[in-house]
Copies of this chain bind each other. A is one copy, B any other.
Amino acid sequence: MSTHAFQAPKGTRDFYPSDLAVRRHIEHAWRSASIDCGFDEVEGPAFEHLELYTAKSGEGIVNELFSFRRAGGENDYALRPEFTPTLARMVAARAGALPVPVKWFAIPNMFRAERPQRGRLREFVQWNIDTLGVEGAATDIDVIACAILALERLGLTPLDVQVRLSHRVAIGRLLSALGVSEEKSADAMTLLDRRDKLKPDEFATRAQALGLSAEGVASFDLAARATQPLADEISALATKIGIPVEALAALDEVRAAATRAGILEWCTVDIGIVRGLAYYTGTVFEIHEISGAERAVAGGGRYDGLVELFGGPKMAACGFGMGDVVLANVLRDRKLLPDDGAALLPRPDAFVISAGSEAAEAELPRLMMALRRAGFHARSSSKVTRNVGKLLGDAGKARARFAVILGAELTEGQIALKNLDSGSHSGSQTLVALAELTEHLRVKA
């Protein structure tokens, strides 16, 4: 076996306990925010029929996918690069039977066969939030507010990240004013979104073909750079951005809803957020670290036609995806993650120490199982030493709340209980009846 097989494949990660503790910390914020906002969790297969992705994104996506066939099988499969097609397929399959609105969240692992780089891996975890079956800015803001709730729980503020909002209709009107015909509007948005991946010449040629001159692109860029707080009046916004006030009308309702929900200070108007995928139809947004130094933390918007594309009815929809990789970079940069992820691991309730007598040695395994059956996180040492001082040190290193010492008093049915959170003074150690240990652990939790 070559030695590379001993390593995780390029662009994937091994999560040792302290690494996984960080990921679980992030996932816990995602999950608790989702549940509190009334979303139900769903999950689908880690791979789908390849056609599920080519249908929406064209054959061009194949090179970005890990695709395969079962030996002797006939179907082409691909590891999921995103969750939306699975979600649309699942909603379409039961559209008539699902209670409306459908409010779903998912935290699946995803795969992209691209070159790994900062913020972009070949396997990652992505939080998905989607509301289907209801139109309107209040729903867009309900979805965005859920993202903000999770970010708040992770310690972020509007001074750290901002939701950059735009609207497909507003971008369309701006492009129209710059010479792009309505039927070429979606293509122009896709082109503008993919700009960083193209050579300047190629971009200019393609832009020209869509009716966008060099001056038109420059005007678009001026508008895109003129980001403004959503809190500003729409007429003032239009003036500052340099586009007709009517073009921003669609964002007026979004602003009103954001105001009612109390998340206005998290929101910036950024007409340059176009979101390349052709299926977006209304509000679009990305969440960015405020300096713009990192890739987008999240991206999403309204996609009212997608479920129909997967064989379902026409259905309003709005959602976003937030990956774990960029978010962890932002949190680390803001000192919102501990240097050692082990600090986020669950703390033991009890670290049980045998002082070495025959009775203690016999009692230890029974007590361990009894504590665990009572719902306590109980650990002990596998060391041969019965030096209580040393083992107390190990209990501290394990971050246990209590040390439980099986000493001489065991013959009278008593054990020593030491509260490791109250410092090292002797007063914190008390003798308690073995039969009452779980009560002591419970009360002091």
Contact = CB atoms under 8 A, between A and B. Distances in A.
Interface residues of A, number: 98
A198 interface: no
B55 A66 contact: no
Contacts of A71: 62-63, 67, 113
Given A17-B42, A36-B378, A104-B17, A70 B8 contact: no
Please classify the interface of chain A as helix (H, G, I), strand (E, B), loop, or mixed, using the class held by over half of its residues.
Answer: mixed
Contacts of A141: 365
A52 B111 contact: no
A46 B365 contact: no
Contact of A45 (B6, B13, B310): B13
Given A310-B6, A348-B38, A77 B70 contact: no
A226 interface: no
A101 B398 CA distance: 13
Given A37-B372, A67-B71, A145-B372, 18 more contacts: A1-B54, A4-B49, A5-B49, A6-B311, A7-B93, A13-B44, A14-B45, A14-B90, A14-B93, A32-B375, A33-B372, A35-B346, A35-B377, A36-B375, A46-B111, A109-B109, A261-B369, A262-B370
A314 interface: no
A263 B257 CA distance: 58
Contacts of A109: 46, 109
B63 A66 contact: no
Given A1-B55, A366-B260, A100 B382 contact: yes
Interface in A248-279: 257, 260-263
B6 A365 contact: no
25 contacts: A5-B51, A5-B55, A6-B52, A6-B93, A6-B311, A9-B45, A12-B47, A13-B45, A14-B45, A15-B44, A16-B42, A16-B94, A17-B41, A23-B43, A33-B372, A36-B378, A45-B123, A46-B109, A46-B123, A62-B71, A66-B68, A139-B382, A149-B369, A260-B366, A262-B370
A412 to B, nearest CB: 21
Interface centre among A5, A35, A52, A90 (most CB of B within 10 A): A5
Given A44-B15, A46-B111, A38 B5 contact: no
A366 B45 contact: no
Contact of A12 (B5, B40, B45, B262): B45
Nearest to A18: B40
A35 B10 CA distance: 30
Contacts of A145: 369, 372
Given A14-B45, A24-B41, A257 B365 contact: yes
Contact of A40 (B7, B152, B345, B362): B345
A145 B368 CA distance: 10
A38 B379 contact: yes
Contacts of A44: 8, 12-15
Interface of A: 1-10, 12-17, 20-21, 23-24, 32-33, 35-38, 40-49, 51-52, 54-55, 62-63, 66-68, 70-73, 75, 77, 79, 86, 89-90, 92-94, 100-101, 104, 109, 111, 113, 123, 134, 138-139, 141, 145, 149, 152, 257, 260-263, 310-311, 345-346, 348, 362, 365-366, 368-373, 375-380, 382
B138 A8 contact: no
A444 to B, nearest CB: 17
A371 B43 CA distance: 27
A66 B62 contact: no
Contact of A66 (B77, B366, B370, B382): B77
Which residue of A24, A123, A372 has the most chain B CB atoms within 10 A of its CB atom? A372
A369 B263 CA distance: 9
A414 B399 CA distance: 45
A47 B134 CA distance: 38
A205 to B, nearest CB: 26
A94 B8 CA distance: 13
The 9 closest A-B pairs by CB, nearest first: A68-B68, A12-B45, A17-B40, A5-B51, A15-B43, A5-B49, A1-B55, A38-B379, A260-B365
A43 B17 CA distance: 8
